[in-house]
Amino acid sequence: MNKIIGKPLDRVDGRLKVTGEASYTADVPIENLTYGVIFQSAIASGKIIQIDTSAAAIAPGVLDVVTYQQTPSLVKIPFFGPPQPQSTEKDHNIYYDGQHLGVVIAQTLEQAETAASKIKIIYEEAPYTVTAAGAEIFEPESIFFGIMPGKITRGDVESGKAQADVLVEQVYTTPMEHHNPLEPSATIAVWEGDNLTLYETTQGISATQRAIASVLNIPQENVRVISKYLGGGFGCKALLRSHTILAAIASRHVKRPVKVVLTRSQMYTACGHRSQTEQHLTLGATKEGKLTVINHIGTSLTSLFDDFVEPVGAATTMMYACPNLEVKYRLARINTATPTFMRGPGEATGMFALESAMDELAHTLNIDPIELRLRNHADIDPHKELPWSSKSLKECYQKGAEIFGWSQRNPVLRSMQDGYFLIGWGMASATFPTNVGTASVKVEIFASGEVKVRSGTQDIGTGTYTVMTQIASEVLGLPVQFELGDSNLPKAPIAGNSITVASVSPAVHKAAIAARDRIIQMAIKDANSLLYESQAEDISVESGQIFLKQDPSKRDSYTDILRRHGLESLEVTEESSASPESKEYAKHSFGAIFVEVAVDELLGEVKVRRCVGVYGAGRILNFKTARSQVVGGITWGIGMALMEKTVMDINQGRIVGANLSDYLIPVHADIPNMEVQFVEEHDPFVNALGTKSLGELPIVGVAAAISNAVYHATGKRIRDLPITPDKLL
């Protein structure tokens, strides 16, 4: 059989994307389209005394102005469950700067923009806070929409501290950050009678379908959500947002399709962000380097109306074998939009603290950082007390160290120099859970020879189209077309939490096998087939034909078999979800990241010169797309370490620099060549294909590795991200 799974194939949608043929949401051609422009609050706290839309309503081209008074809440959005009962009393309160207040709909975008600028709002301002100081702080009982407890303990922290020969007790902080996908969020809402179609920038077509149906109080089956291509999501397109609600309501008002595209500046308040964190972390260890205690307390900031925690302890609980542990969270309410999932929520921020502290401990104990990690390697999941379904972390350390040349590292601080520059080498571990959701896939084989494989999953830019095509093509032995991004297709999970490959690939595999086996059975039972009365296990497939392995001259084709049976097509739908046995295992991907930095001490500038990342992430379906994902993830990590930070103006209560030129992200010149390797893993427990999570894994650990390298180079430990020049001077 032709091996296609695993091959480093080009993206099947690559050509469409680079030639502009791929229709992203805002590009979908829709007849009779109108344009919506959203207007927002200009204060951080208070209430609306008066909203005057009269000048906007009579501006040229304007069809209507819809305000929050005519919509369900634009603030408290029911992301998952049924909505809070809507009060008929409209909420005139302003909770944060940039809060959506309504939409102007006009014949052209320019007319809508002009009209939106004519809306006059009179506010009564109230005191606000955008920092934790002075905010209400509380300990949430549960976090992440109730799926994780707000406090996790094992053993006894106080006795763990008492057993320690050395303690590292430090505070690590990470700033507010924004996702900034290249493609801003957009919606085109189209009503036909009672049915709503949304062309939507979303990581979750079915989740959006459920949420908008619940907000509008209409049956789910009346809503169709389409999202064929996505220019990045990173978490900010995971949940229903108010611009989508506004587009849907606006379209109902003007009885025409309405398109709303958020501006780059609106992207800073309309789709969530990563909260800043303050993490108090204590590690205690014996002088041999055995951890006796881990205590991780994370404070993050949320809005006045939702409880969203940045779960910094997500990896802390399972990363190292340590008998005494406490992880807990504190939340402060401030005048912002609600934070959300962003690129390894919890793992990226929390592992900055944990993997920095491990480095501090290694220096204190004078033990090599890799050796310290090996001495505390978790042979089973120390929290769930379950064996790992697979774990190659030791191989990742070893292979990474080898490629990087770690044995040449002089552990003495400031000892490695390259002329004018101080050189530092640092490393850190990476991990991310592998979650498997329920996914359905339909395979349709046509008598024409065409094959369509369909699932209501998403491709957020990572390569879903490509890897799913590879799986189905290999099993069926002929080229297939993979379709996704339409809520009318069989259901699949949201493309978040790095869940897609591990959830959808086994379903594609299962459905393709079922379809192939149906065809084989039809041939075996067909007296007109050369394969009549053959054994199914003796039959193989290639190029749209099935043949007897022992005697390849005995063959038949999908097309002929279907035609002889008078069938236009054959259709099979299969569903797959996590197996009961898989619940007996802890499922995580792991990795190790090594970096070399060069520091210009006079300017405080840090340049990442080299980077080696080695990952154990299950079966790799396509080395090329997988490598690209890792390169992207490490690039995020470099941005997180050295550049990214959203700045709040505390005097105005608003974000400053809400654009792509003031919010610093790495450009090509900031990124070194990266050596990316995967440790081959055969995980029989995660799913039938052995695929694990990869999406968010590679950002994890990078900021710590860089901070550790900066310390090695300079002797300065920076515990506050990003590591900007001022902190090194």
List, by residue number, the catalytic residues.
696
CB proximity list for 270: less than 8 A, separation 6 or greater: 38, 98, 100, 185, 241, 242, 243, 262, 337
Two structure tokens written together for 716: 């300065």
The structure tokens 């490509």 sit at 466
* Prior bond of 722 cis (ω within 30°): yes
CB of 238 or CB of 597, closer to ligand MOS: 238
* Residue 321, CA distances (Å) to 284, 312, 325, 378 in order: 12, 18, 10, 5
Contact 184, 160 (CB under 8 A): no
Q: What's the closest the beta carbon of residue 462 comes to ligand MOS, in angstroms?
A: 10
The gap from C-alpha 103 to its chain's centroid, in whole angstroms, comes to 29
Of 339 and 653, which has the nearer Cβ to ligand MOS? Answer: 339
Q: How far is CA 566 from CA 61, 476, 657, 663, in A?
A: 57, 21, 65, 61
Whichever of 314 and 546 has its CB closer to ligand MOS, that residue is: 314
In sequence order, the 6+-apart residues with CB closer than 8 A to the CB of 32 are 256, 257
State the Cα–Cα distance between residues 136 and 153, nearest whole angstrom.
25
**Per-residue DSSP letter, 113:** H
Q: Whole-angstrom Cα distance, residue 354 to residue 376?
A: 13
Torsion of CA 265, 266, 272, 274, to 10 degrees: 10
Strand partners, 577: none
**For helices 500-524 and 464-476, what crossing angle results, to 10°?**
20
Look up residue 538 and give its amino acid. Answer: D
The 3-state DSSP class for residue 114 equals helix
**Considering the complex, what minimum distance in angstroms separates the CB of residue 42 from ligand MOS?**
30
Instruction: Please state, in angstroms and as integers, the Cα–Cα distance from residue 509 to each residue in 453, 458, 618, following that order.
Output: 11, 17, 16
- Of 602, 134, 67, 76, which is closest to residue 333 (Cα–Cα)? 134
Binding site for ligand MOS (CB under 6 A): 203, 233-235, 238, 341-343, 345, 496-497, 696
Report how far residue 83's alpha carbon sits from residue 242's, in angstroms, rounded to the nearest whole number.
14
On whether the CB atoms of residues 653 and 97 are closer than 8 A, the answer is yes
Q: In 25-119, at which residue ranges do the beta strands (DSSP E only) sit?
A: 34-40, 46-52, 62-67, 93-94, 100-106
Q: Return the amino acid letter for 450.
A: E
Cβ burial of 61 (10 Å; 0-12, 13-18, 19+) is middle
Alpha helix segments (H runs only) across 366-478? 369-375, 393-404, 464-476
Give CA–CA dist 676/455, Å, rounded.
30
Contact between residue 357 and residue 392 where contact means Cβ atoms under 8 Å apart: no
Q: What angle do CA 531, 536, 541 make, to 5 degrees?
A: 75
Measured between alpha carbons, how far is 395 from 380 in angstroms, rounded to an integer?
Answer: 16
Per-position b or e across 159-173, b if 16+ CB within 10 A of its CB = ebbebbeebbebebe
**Residue 330 and residue 302: Cα distance in Å, rounded?**
10
DSSP state of 135: S
CA distance 626 to 620: 7
Per the listing, tokens 């049956």 go with 219
Residue 641: CB minimum distance to ligand MOS, A: 18
Q: Which residue is nearest to ligand MOS (CB)?
A: 235
Taking the C-alpha atoms of residue 406 and residue 429, their distance in angstroms, rounded to an integer, is: 15
Nearer to ligand MOS, 40 or 202 (CB): 202
The secondary structure element, H or E, covering residue 567 is none
Closest CB to ligand MOS among 238 and 570?
Answer: 238
